[in-house]
Structure 1
Amino acid sequence: MDSPARAAQALLDRERALLADLGGLLDRADAPDDTRRRLADLARTLDELFLLVVAGEFNAGKSTVVNALFGRRIMEEGPVPTTDKITVLRHGDAEATHRRGEFITERHLDHPLLESLALVDTPGTNSIVKEHQALTEDFIPRADLVLFVTSYDRPLSESERQFLEYIRGAWGKRLVVAVNKADLAETEAALAQVLEHVRDGLVRIFAEAGIEDPRPPLLFPVAARLALQAKEADPDGYRADPRWERSRFAPFERFLTETLTDDARLALKLAAPLDAVGTLLRDVRQRVEAQREVLAEDEVQLAALNGRFEEVGGQLDDIAGRAVAEVDRELLEMEKRGVRFLDDTIRVSRLNLIRDRNAFREEFDRQVVRDAEQRIETRLGEAADALLRRVFELWNETYSRLTDLKRKETGIAGGFMYDRDEVLRDVIREARRTIDQYDMGEEARRLLENARSALTVGGVTAVGIGALAVVLIATTAFDVTGGVLAAGALATLGFIVLPAQRRRAVREFSARVDTLREELRGGLDRELNQEVEQAVGKVRALVRPVAKLALDARADLDAMAAEAGRLGDETDALRAEVRQSYGTAEVEG
């Protein structure tokens, strides 16, 4: 079986590992630098002697309480702040004083109380010198137990309330409270009323700080000045001095010298880091949850944007599809007119027209082409305008949604929020630049030019899609009539051969025009759809960094929540083992 010392060391090692893991989690959660530094300080104190930190306002009699414990004036007293640095009292065979830094002094005293603990006297929490309070707050995370001194005549002032929230709320520190100057109470009822006021106030402070079990700490009414006077008058027989009885100091002194046994101090020392871990894990969970709420709103907006991309993409496909269908209807009408023209023209009575290619072209343009080229170009121009207006609206809508996300005040700090702001800022800037530079006319020209240049129907090129269609159909008509002229028998057998040639020419014209229509329709549909995909794709690409950040943040926050849960389970397991091995030091009422 492990020795008690080895068992205690094993628990300390596990707590040290727990604090290291928590430090890693705080780094990932972007906790304040001070919090991470103080957690590291806490880890370094695990192997040190039990640390009792004395805190309170400068006029509460804190130094007098310390002096009464030692029976002599080892700390300076006065009506104004006298402690301008942290004083660490440790045991030593000979009295000595050493400066450990600009604001820390270490004193060695030969006193039995210091054989089992180190006592830290801190500057007043309401000192007019701001550095005093900063020093005190910096030392609190290292404490295994905090002795908080308030006074009968000013119990739980506002500055004391704020400091107690820091002690218990920010670091989960166990504390005992000495209500000094209890001799100012004229009656026991008056003293009881003040004690009840302090007790209720502490419960309220702890509850507001989020403490799960907001029980008040042990309260000790004392008159430290009377106790010090009794000890100074007779160091060995002070217990017979009436002032000692009136000081009510005996129960408080017994708590520190007898109740805080080795096991009780070890229980507190092992519990103190676990209390801090529990408090910090609560803060991490709150930070993660707050970021999750922001992320959830971002994800809703991103989902809405993706929905709009799909919806607008469908609308653009419909616009492009209608444009292709209307162009095809124009070509179909040209085909019908061409069939009628050929049927009327390929006759013996009109052989001169067939043989005169210029006259044939003019007549073909008049009867078949008409204004088809202009109508096709007009319809495609209208479709391009409709497409581009809708794309421009999508850019503006996306810009507005992203700007709303950026404008939302979250009040949350941290890497995720910093990255979010940076990504949104860059994306919004790019969207604004695109909107400001958007030239509808130039974009329409580019779209139609891209569509025309990409069409390779019949190897023919023209200045516009309408012109391309007209050239292709006219060329087809010339080709089939050229075939009719190639029949040499027309000169002598025209009445016999020509009807058959006419029917074949009409069939060939219709078949070839149908093929041309299919190729033109497919090519135009393909090119317009590609334009649609590229247009929506550019807006999607704009939002992609925000979506990627949200996806990565979701995974990271989930991982942090899982790690916080694991550390919470380990904390609970350690706390149970500490209680089982060493019990609990009763410092709460």
Structure 2
Amino acid sequence: MLGERYFQSRDRLLGCCRRIDELAEASGIETRDTGDEARRELSRPLRIVALGEVNAGKSTLLNALAGAELCPAGPLPTTQRTGYYRYSSTEREVERDNGWVVVGRDLDFLRHFELIDTPGTNSGWRDSVFADSGKYEAVDLLLVVFPSGNTWTAATWELISQLSEEALDKTALVVQQADLKGPEDLQVIDGHMRELCQKKIGRDLPILAVAAGLALEAKLDPESSRKSWSASRFSVFEEFVTSRLCESERRRYLLDRTSQEAANHLREIEAGLDRQKRGMDDDGWFLAGIEREANQLRDLILESSPKTLAGARGRYENEVGKLARRLGSMLGAAPTSWRLFFGDSTAAKAEARLADGLREAIRDFAAADAERLLEECEGHWNDVRPRVVERMGLDPGEPVVSGEAREGVVARFTETVGKSVTGVLSQLRVRASLDAPLRSRNGRLKFVAALTLALLAAAGICGTLGLDHWPHWLLLGAAGMAGIYILMAWTSRIRIAGETRQRLRDASGRFESAMRGDYAEAVRGLFVEYSNGLIGVRRQLAERQATLKPRSEQWDRLYLELKSIEQEMG
């Protein structure tokens, strides 16, 4: 194919440039567009136009270049309007307002070349051909075709003389049907045409003799037409076209310019990726700093926990006072008498009631303290959130411990702190401390109660026997013993309740100590949930960092590819 090496390099370069642009866009990096004009010109197909008189062989020449029967050709004048042949995946023909017909064909050759076939310069459409002469400056190669039997046709030479210097720089003269002339005749024709060039335009133009019909025949059936290809002289003509179009200084400049701009864009992307990496590293340190702030706030709260737990002492002492009052009621004379005969569970009930009271008191304390800590967290978050938005462009939203989640956070904090009740009771040993004095008290009271009952029984017996005075004295003794029973029950109740109150109040330090571990665990758990608010930001940062590595790897591949293309072009 014409210019195969050039088009391979060009397509590789354009593909590399496209991938560089895609990398820049995916990375969010803006690059300069200084090379866009050169790239657009480089990417467009090369345009070749054929001019000449009727039946000069213009259409056949273009068909031979394309290797396909693209332009209509025949012994009679066939081309009546300018045909603009370009690539299209679907075949179509569209007539333009200027009289040109745009013909789309699915032909690989047309991906790289666009062909313009014109009516004869001596035909009925002569005026339109001459009127379009100013457009030929925009083409890449202008082929003026002469039949080998008439290379001095006036109409064609008149058209050549009207071409601008810029168009003449792109012009070559082609002598068609060269197979009908011998070598000496072609030499004479060449000399004659050079004289006409000097006479008409004052300069030389390239002159090539070909037999395009033989060349087309050979391309369509290469196995049976090898001799035709050799006789067509078309290989020399294609080398000329390749040299003039694909190996020209202009093409070299466009390739070099596009390659240089691609290298510049790669450098800009490299700098951008490096800035992004540094920025992401800084964002990581920024988030770590915020997390350290949250940890510092947590540590300050833990350091002040003795003071906070000291605030719970009032609730504890209140429950101790309630227990002492309940214990006084439970140790009254009447309840005590009942339990002397049916079993005493005062210590177990007292401990259970204290446990229920402490559990409720600790839950109230924990719920109130959780609300206080959440206020601290929300205050910190209100400071953190705008800083994250400003620094990273990411909004972490509301704190995860607020809104509907707040109730669950308080419940978990309260549950964790509430676990300390078991430890508190194990240290206070309420039941064990009550068992001994209650057993001693019950023993004494049982003795007095037994004497009272014995005196009452003796009084009954004496009365039955009719003994004078003894029943009265025995009843009086029983009444005295009952009074002693009541007095002992009252005084021992006051003593035991008071001693229990005092002992439990003295143990308030152990109450705080028993709560400290579970309270610290609850605080840490609350701050873990609070810190989860940055997980979303961390995840987005990690996603950004994850995309940076493949982009850097892609940059490396593009850099090596561009260097390979430069070596290939060099």
TM-score (norm 1): 0.45
TM-score (norm 2): 0.46
In terms of Rg, which structure is larger? 2
